Amino acid sequence: MEPNSLNTEIKKFDNNHQIKNKKTKNDNIPDTNIQLEANENNINNIPEIQPNKFISFITSKLGIAIIASSLVIIAVGIVLGITLSGSKDKDKNQEKLIHSTDEENLKENEGEKNTETENESNNNTEKENDGNTENTENENDNNKENEKENDTNKEETDNKIEKEKSNNIEEEKEKSNNIEEEKEKGNNIEEEKEKSNNTEEKKEKSIEEEKEKNNQNDEEREIENNIEEENDNDYIYKEKILSDTLYVKKVDNLPDDFILGMDLSSVIVEENSGVKYYNFNGEERDIFETLRYVGINYIRVRIWNDPYDSEGHGYGGGNNDMDTAIKIGKRVTKYKMKLLADFHYSDFYADPGQQFVPKAWRGLTLEQKVQKAKEFTIESLTSFKNEGIDVGMVALGNEINDYFCGERTWVNICKILQACTEATRQVLPDTLISVHFTDPNREDSMMYFARNLNENNLDYDVFSVSYYSVWAGGI
């Protein structure tokens, strides 16, 4: 047997012994059976002797016996040697094993203790973890409870806020309602004051109107009395008249709507120049009163757009702008007469020889002039209306035989006239509208003018004609 094989067996022995020692701690007696088994195994494992050098002996029985004996002796010696050596080694190994076992036991005990400590620590850790988990769960539960409580508190707070808002809104509404009520009361008070003031104003106005009516009645009575006095002394005037050709006898049974009128366009300028008017008895009277007395029921006044030059000097003829026309119109209405407003649509006299467009309308197109003429008519008639002036008739243009407002064709002339007609109907729908020509002795011309007005569908009421015998001659 080679040493290595023996060592291998010893290691096997040591290992088997060590395993058993783990099972039986503190047992120092070796197991004989295990040792014998180990020896037998070792013997069986001895390698065979090679027969190359002893072939001669093998052939003989003696040699066989000697060899067998020798082998037994050798075997016994080997066994004993092995046994002794194994015993020593076994003791050493056993000591080492015991020492190692003790160390291992100590280590194992320490390991077990450590394991127990670790287990205990782990258990404690687990308990701590369980405790922590439980604490965490409790904390979570507490947090959930706190969250619920916070949610509840928040909900309650929100509800309180909503209630406060609602209460504030209600308070604001109530305040607003109170304010509105106060305003309404204030308005009612103001309305009552206003009604009271209006009532007082109405009373005062009524008193003033009564006074004015009384004054007017007094004036009318005075006028009527003066007229009666004038009629009683009518013979005086006849004696003073130098020529019967200047006297016009009264025409009886004239219809109520018969127009008997005259032009007083220059009266304001004349009065401003110091002119005075007297009745037939030599008493100073308002000229309008005297005319009313003799049966005049219409007063005609020229109206020019701007009868002044750039330095403010009047062109003459009464300088009849709208301000002058209103002054005359008020006096006409005062004496129960009607005003005939004669619009020339020019800055000065318009007649068959001159129909100059107003300075402000120069250079305008036809459509622009149509618009300007309409606007001027509306503004002027509205002013008369606001002043309470009784406008009985409106003359659109003055002696427009040949042209009007700078236009010479009847189509264009009628476009401007129609705009003025529409303006009159708009402001004073009951006022008569007149279109004014001259020279009635020219019968063909009158028919020509009338035909052109009809062909262009002009809306008008009166076809007016001026007649000056000194220029026109006989009819």
Q: What is the pLDDT of residues 445-460, one digit of tens each?
A: 999 999 999 999 999 9
Residue predicted with more confidence, 123 or 392: 392
Domain range spanning residue 287? 259-472
Question: Is residue 418 one of the residues assigned to a domain?
Answer: yes
Please enumerate in sequence order all residues whose Cβ is within 8 A of that of 340, keeping only pairs 6 or more positions apart, or say none. Answer: 261, 298, 299, 300, 301, 391, 392, 393, 394, 395, 434
**pLDDT confidence bin for 17, thresholds 50/70/90:** very low
**pLDDT confidence bin for 33, thresholds 50/70/90:** very low
Burial class of residue 298 (count of CB atoms within 10 Å of its CB; 0-12, 13-18, 19+)? middle
Residue predicted with more confidence, 411 or 184: 411
CA gap 321, 348 in Å, rounded: 10
Q: Is the pLDDT of residue 239 over 60?
A: no
Q: Is the pLDDT of residue 87 over 70?
A: no
Question: Is residue 218 one of the residues assigned to a domain?
Answer: no
Q: What are phi and psi of 352, to 5 degrees?
A: -60, -25
CA gap 371, 420 in Å, rounded: 9
Angle at 260 between CA 232 and CA 395, to 5 degrees: 155
Percent of the chain with pLDDT over 70: 59
pLDDT tens digit sequence for 402-448: 899 999 999 999 999 999 999 999 999 999 999 999 998 888 999 99
Q: Is the pLDDT of residue 325 over 90?
A: yes
In sequence order, what are the beta bridge partners of 437? 465
Question: Is residue 195 one of the residues assigned to a domain?
Answer: no
pLDDT tens digit sequence for 333-342: 999 999 999 9
The mean pLDDT of 65-69, rounded to a whole number, is: 63
Q: Is the pLDDT of residue 360 over 90?
A: yes
Question: Is residue 223 one of the residues assigned to a domain?
Answer: no
Question: Is residue 366 one of the residues assigned to a domain?
Answer: yes
Domain boundary among 54, 78, 112: 112
Percent of the chain with pLDDT over 90: 41
What pLDDT shows up at residue 207?
76
Question: Is residue 340 one of the residues assigned to a domain?
Answer: yes
Question: Is residue 179 one of the residues assigned to a domain?
Answer: no
What pLDDT shows up at residue 428?
98
Where is average pLDDT lowest: 22-26, 204-208, 313-317? 22-26
pTM of the complete model = 0.53
What pLDDT shows up at residue 380?
98
Mean per-residue pLDDT of the chain? 76
The domain that holds 327 is classified in CATH as: 3.20.20.80
Question: Is residue 460 one of the residues assigned to a domain?
Answer: yes
Domain boundary among 96, 112, 128: 112
What pLDDT shows up at residue 230?
54
Domain boundary among 62, 93, 112: 112
Residue predicted with more confidence, 194 or 379: 379
Token pair recorded at residue 371: 């618009």
- How many domains, the chain? 2
What pLDDT shows up at residue 4?
44
The mean pLDDT of 77-97, rounded to a whole number, is: 56
**pLDDT confidence bin for 70, thresholds 50/70/90:** low
pLDDT tens digit sequence for 166-176: 777 777 777 77
CA gap 457, 453 in Å, rounded: 6
Residue predicted with more confidence, 416 or 204: 416
